[in-house]
Amino acid sequence: MQGEERRTPLYGWHNSHGANMGEFAGFQMPLWYPRGAKSEHLAVLAHAGLFDTSHMSVMAVRGAGAFERLQFCLTRNLLACLPPRNGPLEKGRSVYGLFLNEEGGSVDDAIVFKQAENEFLVVVNAGMGPVVSAHLEAHRKGMPVEILDLSAKVGKMDIQGPMAARILRKVLADPERVLPDMVYFSFKGHFDPSSPRSREVALADGTPLLVSRTGYTGEFGFEIFVAVENLVKVWEMLFDAGADFGILPCGLAARDSLRVGAVLPLSHQDIGPWPFIHHPWEFVLPFNADQTGFTKTFVGGEALLKHAGTEYTYPFVGYDLRKVADRGQAEVLDASGTEIGAVLSCATDMAIGWHEGRLCSIASPNRPEGFTPTGLCCGFLRVRSRIEPGRVVELRDNRRKIRVMVVKDIRPDRTARRPMKEML
């Protein structure tokens, strides 16, 4: 039923552990737990955090035309997307990209996992499975493809933070075979016991998993996919295994502040049904070497090339904890006090602070001795003209006005890409 409240399989666990619950994308989700969002945010920087992400939509896209369909509908060029030399997407690797409409606006963002030559897993935002499925169907072009919504069958959780690999190692049946060679945006295993790949990764009791070295925090960690009936068991095993490593359950508030500090967009807020261009996430567009065109044809690409570029999205960082409203409810003012745009996201990254004109994080190896950040507001703004990094603007809502600096990046020294050997 449309508008019906939905719950993940971990709803009972969240309530029994004191979570403050709230609605998100039609689901009742934990916003924070008794330790609070600040402690959860810092745990992911220093130890580990466990997130319930089983509200996300998971789809299988397979068949003889699966690659061609995704290549046409996704912004990433799947023939030239893997670092360091723009290699093709390989089995066991994943890639982040966007599905755009014909006008170049965002339908949704996604991670695409290549499981076999003509078999892919596509993960999109909560409730967006039917929308993205319809989008793929609308661009069939005669290509034989089967699209299956697996959201009701697959549970998902994220373990993020520098201790994540050590915690995961404690619960896997053969961790030394699974973990050491996992690079950023790679995955192993399968959640379906009938799949031959399910033998690649399992718990000590034989429960199969798909383990992906990805996440939505900017920090080192994994996304874990399991059959929905095993979700609570796996969650509790990870939580128990992480007790000596400082693990905390984390809610949506910490997820939001972590992703903002990592300059990661929230679909339908920072990116949406407007031209997907002139922002920090252009790396997912298949530009040619001189940025005059694209290396492939894809839905929305022609519209982007025609776009005059009258709007720009930038990250910003404030000078203290004070925030303003987001989602377009606060405006951006230039030095003369003229309104030039709106605030998309505004959060507080509790792990950062200014020191002698530069941003430092509690994870920075060169942070000053005794550095204890009080946290800074940060986020994304959308304006009608180009702004150079380092420029100070004002943000104003109906409560306050604050000064912030437009920047290229926010939380420094993020750990997501660190070599596995450093984290084990």
pLDDT, one tens digit per residue, over 326-336 is 999 999 999 99
Coil, helix or strand at residue 372: coil
Residue 223, strand partner residues: 158, 212
Q: Are 160 and 213 in contact (CB under 8 A)?
A: no
Report, as an integer, the average pLDDT of 116-121.
96
pLDDT, one tens digit per residue, over 7-27 is 999 999 999 999 999 999 999
Query: What's the confidence (pLDDT) of residue 142?
Result: 79
Give how far the C-alpha of residue 269 lies from the chain's centroid of Cα atoms, to the nearest Å.
Answer: 13
Query: What's the confidence (pLDDT) of residue 5?
Result: 82
The backbone torsions φ and ψ at residue 105, rounded to the nearest 5 degrees and listed phi first, read -85, 155
Q: Are 239 and 247 in contact (CB under 8 A)?
A: yes
**Cβ atoms within 10 A of the Cβ of 289, count?**
7
Place of tokens 């670092």: 83
Report, as an integer, the average pLDDT of 195-217.
96
More confident residue, 356 or 72: 72
Query: Of 130, 120, 121, whose CA–CA distance to 64 is shortest?
Result: 120
Listed in sequence order, the DSSP H helices in 227-314 are 231-241, 252-261, 301-306
pLDDT, one tens digit per residue, over 55-78 is 999 999 999 999 999 999 999 999
More confident residue, 378 or 140: 378
Q: How confident is the model at residue 140 (pLDDT cuts 50, 70, 90)?
A: confident
pLDDT, one tens digit per residue, over 264-303 is 999 999 999 999 999 999 999 999 999 899 999 999 999 9
Question: End-to-end CA distance of the chain, in Å?
Answer: 46
DSSP state of 271: B
Res. 347: pLDDT tops 80: yes
Distance CA 418, CA 373 (A): 23
Q: How confident is the model at residue 308 (pLDDT cuts 50, 70, 90)?
A: low
Res. 1: pLDDT tops 60: no
- State the amino acid at position 47 in one-letter form: H
The backbone torsions φ and ψ at residue 71, rounded to the nearest 5 degrees and listed phi first, read -60, -35
Query: What's the confidence (pLDDT) of residue 141?
Result: 77
Distance CA 196, CA 61 (A): 18
To the nearest 10°, report the CA torsion of 94, 98, 101, 104.
Answer: -140
**Two tokens, residue 294:** 């694209």
Helix and strand tally (H, E) in the chain? 10, 22
Q: What domains are defined for the chain?
A: 6-56+152-259 (3.30.1360.120), 57-149 (3.30.70.1400), 310-413 (2.40.30.110)
Distance CA 317, CA 67 (A): 40
Query: Of 340, 364, 345, 380, whose CA–CA distance to 415 is shortest?
Result: 364
pTM for this model (two decimals) = 0.96
Measuring CA to CA, how many Å separate 270 from each of 22, 98, 112, 326, 411?
21, 13, 20, 10, 18
**Two tokens, residue 329:** 């409810």
Distance CA 109, CA 74 (A): 9
Query: Of 207, 196, 210, whose CA–CA distance to 158 is shortest?
Result: 210
Orientation angle between helical segments 37-46 and 252-261, nearest 10 degrees: 50
**Cβ atoms within 10 A of the Cβ of 327, count?**
14
**Cβ atoms within 10 A of the Cβ of 399, count?**
10
pLDDT, one tens digit per residue, over 225-235 is 999 999 999 99
pLDDT, one tens digit per residue, over 396-416 is 999 999 999 999 999 999 999
Q: Are 158 and 416 in contact (CB under 8 A)?
A: no
Place of tokens 């050590």: 166
Give how far the C-alpha of residue 49 lies from the chain's centroid of Cα atoms, to the nearest Å.
Answer: 15
Distance CA 191, CA 199 (A): 10
- DSSP E strands: which ranges in 53-186? 57-62, 94-100, 106-116, 119-124, 146-149, 154-160
Distance CA 111, CA 81 (A): 13
Report, as an integer, the average pLDDT of 125-142.
92
Sheet holding 57-62, edge to edge: 94-100, 106-116, 119-124, 57-62, 146-149
Report, as an integer, the average pLDDT of 32-57.
98
DSSP state of 321: S
For the chain, give the mean pLDDT: 96
Distance CA 225, CA 54 (A): 9
Q: How confident is the model at residue 307 (pLDDT cuts 50, 70, 90)?
A: confident
pLDDT, one tens digit per residue, over 246-274 is 999 999 999 999 999 999 999 999 999 99
